[in-house]
Amino acid sequence: MVELKPQEVIFVGTREGLRLLIDAHTSIDTLKDAIRRRLAEAPGFFAGATVVLETRGAVVPPAWVEEVRHVLESHGLKVDHVDADLEARLRAASHVSAGSAETLNNMVQAAPPEEAEPMLPGADTLLIRQSLRSGQSASFEGNLVILGDVNPGSEVWAGGDIVVFGALRGVAHAGADGNRDARVVALRLQPTQLRIADKITRAPDDDVKAVRGPEQAFLKDGAIVIEPWKTHAGTVFGG
């Protein structure tokens, strides 16, 4: 088990579309490289999507945002707008030149991360009725439920729980916004990489685990543990 460094960029699905959460304490060049890598992992998957940009409360110069906008638009994404509070912070920082966002945030005390906008009752879970192939990814700010398999080479992220009614053989990150109570549940749990909040684990190279039925992964005493998935009536499917 190792500590997971905060991700420089996270694409989050919402009812309104995509939001791009970026770590403004990262240099602009590192950030642009991270965005390019994320988009390259799923070529065509984000193409044509509308994106709202937010910096989790940090102050950044307008030219810095324009560089990010250029990278996104060059990959076929449309930047609809930046979040309202970020627009106000951009106006306040308009006298600062582009360059390192890290330097800027050392000069200006950033506002605390904002609370996620509450979603309508019953709208905090996204249901995907298909399997994910290699190169595909899915993300959501709440819970993510997939009716199908998450195959090797595919990735799923969620601010809450991830439930896969199928085999999970790709990368899964639950509690991506720091929720340490999040869980990952699958009928067959064999991820190539599993993350919960800031913890990460990988499948061993010689992992040939026999099918043991539905399982769940969660944090216990600061480490990821995996146990049979049980309901009040007992183990699901008698696994």
How much is the pTM? 0.51
Angstrom distance (rounded) from CA 126 to CA 59? 31
Is residue 111 within 8 A of residue 89, CB to CB? The reply is: yes
Domains of the chain by start residue, with CATH: 2-107 (3.30.750.50), 125-238 (2.160.20.70)
pLDDT reported for residue 168:
96
Whether the pLDDT of residue 109 is over 90: the answer is: no
State how far the Cα of 160 lies from the Cα of 170, in Å rounded to an integer.
18
pLDDT class for 5, splitting at 50, 70, 90?
A: very low
The dihedral of CA 146, 238, 194, 22: what is its sign?
positive
Contacts of 98 (CB under 8 A, 6+ apart): 28, 61, 63, 64, 66, 67
